[in-house]
Amino acid sequence: MNDMADDQNQMDNVFVDREKELKLLNNEMKEVLGSNGRLVLLKGEAGVGKTAVAKEFIGRCSEQGFNVL
Ligand SMILES: Nc1ncnc2c1ncn2[C@@H]1O[C@H](COP(=O)(O)OP(=O)(O)O)[C@@H](O)[C@H]1O
Ligand SMILES: [Mg+2]
């Protein structure tokens, strides 16, 4: 693998900050636990980190035993 592809793979495993967004998502998740459904829209410019936040959140959900579809 070339160095640039290697660097990109390394970066894909790094996740920084976004505590505010993750806390908000976690609060919504608590409502789901109370049997109320929730729909959350992640909105922002291209490249701002929507997919990264979603991946981090679903990873945390999986770790907590949620069945992520
Ligand atoms: N919180 C973060 N920590 C580290 N890297 C991030 C973070 N948010 C985004 N990135 C990186 O920035 C780039 C664009 O993020 P991405 O989630 O694909 O944006 P979007 O989905 O909003 O277009 C990706 O390479 C991603 O890994
Ligand atoms: Mg995206």
Cβ atoms of 55 and 18 closer than 8 Å: no
| Alpha-helix residue ranges (DSSP H) falling in the chain | 3-12, 19-33, 50-63
Q: What is the pLDDT of residue 23?
A: 96
Which ligand number lies closest to the CA of residue 14?
Answer: 1
Which ligand number lies closest to the CA of residue 7?
Answer: 1
Instruction: Using the mean position of ligand 1's atoms as its centre, give its distance from the Cα of residue 46 in Å.
Output: 9
Residue in this structure with the two tokens 């970066």, named with its chain if needed = 11
Q: Residue 69 domain-assigned?
A: no
> pTM for the whole thing?
0.86
Domain range for 26 is: 3-63
Q: Count how many domains the chain has.
A: 1
Q: Residue 55 domain-assigned?
A: yes
Q: What is the pLDDT of residue 43?
A: 97
Q: Residue 27 domain-assigned?
A: yes
- Closest ligand 1 atom number to CA of residue 11: 27
Q: What is the pLDDT of residue 1?
A: 61
Residue 18 corresponds to which tokens in the numbers above? 């976004």
How far is Cα 25 from Cα 44, in angstroms, rounded to an integer? Answer: 15
Q: What is the pLDDT of residue 47?
A: 96
Instruction: Using the mean position of ligand 2's atoms as its centre, give its distance from the Cα of residue 47 in Å.
Output: 7
Question: What does each of the 69 residues of the chain score in pLDDT, given as a tens digit?
Answer: 678 777 767 777 788 889 999 999 999 998 888 888 899 999 999 999 999 999 999 999 999 998 999
